[in-house]
Amino acid sequence: MLNKSIALQICSHNGLEPLALCASAAESAILPAMQAAATQPPAFHLMTKPRGAICNLDCKYCYFLSKERLYPGSDFRMSDNLLEEYIRQYIAAQSVDEINFAWQGGEPTLMGVEFFRQAVRYQQKHKRPGMRIRNALQTNAVTLDDEWCGFFAENDFLIGVSLDGPQDVHDYYRVDKGGQPTFQRVMAGIDLLERHKAEFNILTTVHAANEGHGLRVYEFLRDEVGAQYMQFIPIVERDNETGYQEGDKVTDRSVSAEGYGRFLIDMYEEWVRRDVGRVYVQIFDIALAAWTGAPPGLCIFDETCGLALALEHNGDVYSCDHFVEPDYKLGNIMDIPLDQIVVMDQQRDFGLAKRETLPQYCLDCEVKFVCNGGCPKNRFITTPDGEPGLNYLCAGYRAFFNHVGPSMNFMARELAERRPPANVMLQMARYDTELERAFASAGRNDPCPCGSGKKFKRCHGRRGK
């Protein structure tokens, strides 16, 4: 749980499990023990899709809309009977005192608020004495009204809102079924959440339309939206007919590896100077965890995965939200109890493969301790020496993690000395002052003091820089 404790020290993050790519921080500690012993994990994560892939929007990059094809003729509604059985099994299968329910889609609010009132009733009915239940729900926020937001606030739901940045970049891909922009409606939904004092965070996808705007997106979310908790998910969308994780081509909408790295670096440069301790950015916190020697605490950056499964509207369980495909279906909870599904050999092998299939290029990498090769769904390119299985985002990850290394080292040392990592902002201010002095005295043909390796006249000495 060290990652969470670091998050608390940095910014009093309230512990929302990341909704799109998630596994709890506990997974890092739990999974190796579970794999060694092939026994029941104390906790696991299940992303539940009560309305399946059904959504009121038609975001052009959505990886999940095509999953509708898996269930021809379905009404895509989790039945009341299944809802109770799922809640009963999910609670019974875990031996920890806090159980996190994660609702996603498609658009989960299309189930209607009464479905969630019933879910809360079932949670109360089946929880053990002293047990704490938390709910997190990911939404496009378009359907939110006073009733929804009041319900979320009363029942302590943590809401993840999908918002890709200022209007021009958000509306580029996030449109409704009629192709109409959604930005104004999303902002109205956020306004309602704020008025009802419902907790929310922002999930931003990074794609071809916003990858060049890292700083602008970050400043917008911080200053205009008032978001304190943000996560940035790269869109890596395979270009094929199946909608499965197949082939090595990506769509034009996908972020480029270098673009993703640049996006993160541009945000980080602002964050590390002004916002440490008051704005939580998931990947920055994960990096700091790794720099302190703790497991990164998010499945995509952990050595192994496999404890973040997905539950479809009809009770089918899949290995992961990103692998809702026939080959990764583990069973249906009405036939096989969840506690047995989670320890199936197929699932164990799925989780271990993340580590076992890592190419030598990653094993030799200087930032492997924090990256661990990234999510297997994106490992479809070859290494420079021709070995398959390298992550499409490698160049971006490598640039970002190397870039943040010095300041992460500083923050990790502060933590080790029981001082606030926010002290890094003073350090950065000193560094900036020294750099300004060095710029002022640099000759046009001198190496640029910023360390880029370019001549000053071609770097910070250029007019306007």
Tokens 């996908």 appear where?
254
Q: Which of 9, 347, 391, 407 binds ligand SF4 (CB under 6 A)?
A: 391
For position 397 contacting ligand SF4 by CB under 6 A, the verdict is yes
Question: Which window, 105-113, 132-140, 154-162, 375-383, contacts ligand SF4 (CB under 6 A)?
Answer: 375-383
Q: Which of 373, 421, 449, 461 binds ligand SF4 (CB under 6 A)?
A: 373
**Distance of alpha carbon 275 from its chain centroid, rounded?**
20
CB 182 within 8 A of CB 58: no
Binders of ligand SF4 in range 269-328 (CB under 6 A):
299-300, 305, 308, 320, 322
Calculate the alpha carbon distances from 94 to 44, 128, 255 in Å: 7, 11, 37
Helix (H, G, I), strand (E, B) or coil at 235: coil
Helix (H, G, I), strand (E, B) or coil at 233: strand
Q: What is the widest separation between alpha-carbon atoms in the chain?
A: 75
For position 394 contacting ligand SF4 by CB under 6 A, the verdict is yes
Question: Which window, 104-112, 180-188, 332-340, 392-400, contacts ligand SF4 (CB under 6 A)?
Answer: 392-400
Q: Which of 282, 166, 278, 277 is nearest to 215 (CA)?
A: 166
Catalytic residue status for 248: no
CB 251 within 8 A of CB 77: no
For 269-321, strand residue ranges (E) read 280-281, 308-311, 316-318
CA distance 13 to 6: 9
Which one-letter DSSP state was computed for residue 67? G
Which one-letter DSSP state was computed for residue 137? E
Binders of ligand SF4 in range 112-131 (CB under 6 A):
none
Min dist CB 340 to ligand SF4, Å, is 19
Nearer to ligand SF4, 208 or 390 (CB): 390
Nearer to ligand SF4, 221 or 299 (CB): 299
CB neighbours (10 Å) of residue 35?
A: 18
What are the counts of helices (DSSP H) followed by strands (DSSP E) for the chain?
16, 12
For position 376 contacting ligand SF4 by CB under 6 A, the verdict is yes
For position 49 contacting ligand SF4 by CB under 6 A, the verdict is no
For position 375 contacting ligand SF4 by CB under 6 A, the verdict is yes
Q: How many residues does the chain have?
A: 465
Catalytic residue among 191, 321, 339, 432: 321
Q: Cα–Cα–Cα angle for 369, 375, 377, nearest 5°?
A: 155
For position 21 contacting ligand SF4 by CB under 6 A, the verdict is yes
How many residues touch ligand SF4 under the rule CB under 6 A: the total is 24
For position 202 contacting ligand SF4 by CB under 6 A, the verdict is no
For position 30 contacting ligand SF4 by CB under 6 A, the verdict is no
Binders of ligand SF4 in range 209-238 (CB under 6 A):
none
Nearer to ligand SF4, 213 or 377 (CB): 377
Min dist CB 232 to ligand SF4, Å, is 15
Nearer to ligand SF4, 393 or 424 (CB): 393
Nearer to ligand SF4, 51 or 398 (CB): 398
CB neighbours (10 Å) of residue 249?
A: 11
Question: Which window, 86-94, 145-153, 330-338, 359-367, contacts ligand SF4 (CB under 6 A)?
Answer: 359-367
- My answer on whether omega of the bond before 106 falls inside 30° of 0, hence cis, is yes
Nearer to ligand SF4, 286 or 365 (CB): 365
CA distance 170 to 253: 13
- Residues near ligand SF4 (CB under 6 A) are 21, 23, 299-300, 305, 308, 320, 322, 354, 361-362, 365, 367-368, 371, 373-377, 391, 394, 397-398
Residues annotated as part of the active site = 321
